[in-house]
């Protein structure tokens, strides 16, 4: 993924935000909507596009746009920075391939320790029984 190319392909739109700000909220479009077309992007390889469309299928529109919004702060510039960082975090998390798990078996010492604890517990419980008369 070429981050600089991807950032150049982003489209932003200012929207009126709800929340704190009083009368100011009704006049200013401080909420930012980011849209990114995954299918037509040149900053992402075909394998990455396939991975993104599969993993983020619920967030991508029919036209192939990934849409994020941010209206956390009263500043449009700060909201733009926040939505860009969220977008990059989502992409990086989506493109991260987890390391395959190597199966292992317990060590001989751990097996022996577990069996000894079981024997101690069994002995403790058997000592609580009434002796046969």
Could you report the per-residue pLDDT of 4-30, keeping only the tens digit for each? 999 999 999 999 877 666 777 778 888
Largest CA distance in the chain: 92
- CA distances 60 to 38, 54, 64, 99, 101, Å, are 8, 10, 6, 26, 30
Domain ranges of the chain: 3-95
Average pLDDT value for residue range 41-63: 94
Q: Does the pLDDT of residue 133 top 70, yes or no?
A: no
Does domain 3-95 correspond to CATH entry 3.30.390.30?
no
Residue 37 bridge partners (DSSP): 65
User: What's the pLDDT tens digit per position in 65-113?
Assistant: 999 999 888 889 999 999 999 999 999 999 999 999 999 999 999 999 9
Confidence band (pLDDT; 50, 70, 90) for 56? very high
């Amino acid at each position: 993924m070429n981050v600089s190319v991807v950032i150049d392909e982003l489209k932003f739109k200012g929207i009126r935000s709800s929340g704190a700000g009083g009368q100011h909220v009704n006049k200013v479009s401080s909420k930012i909507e980011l849209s990114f077309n995954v299918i037509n992007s040149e900053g992402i390889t075909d394998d990455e596009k396939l991975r993104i469309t599969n993993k983020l299928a619920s967030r991508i529109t029919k036209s192939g746009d990934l849409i994020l919004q941010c209206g956390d702060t009263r500043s449009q510039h700060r909201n733009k920075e926040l939505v860009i960082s969220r977008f990059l975090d989502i992409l990086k998390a989506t493109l991260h391939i987890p390391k395959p798990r190597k199966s292992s078996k317990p060590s001989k010492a751990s097996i022996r320790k577990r069996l000894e604890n079981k024997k101690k517990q069994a002995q403790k419980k058997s000592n609580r029984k009434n002796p046969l008369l």
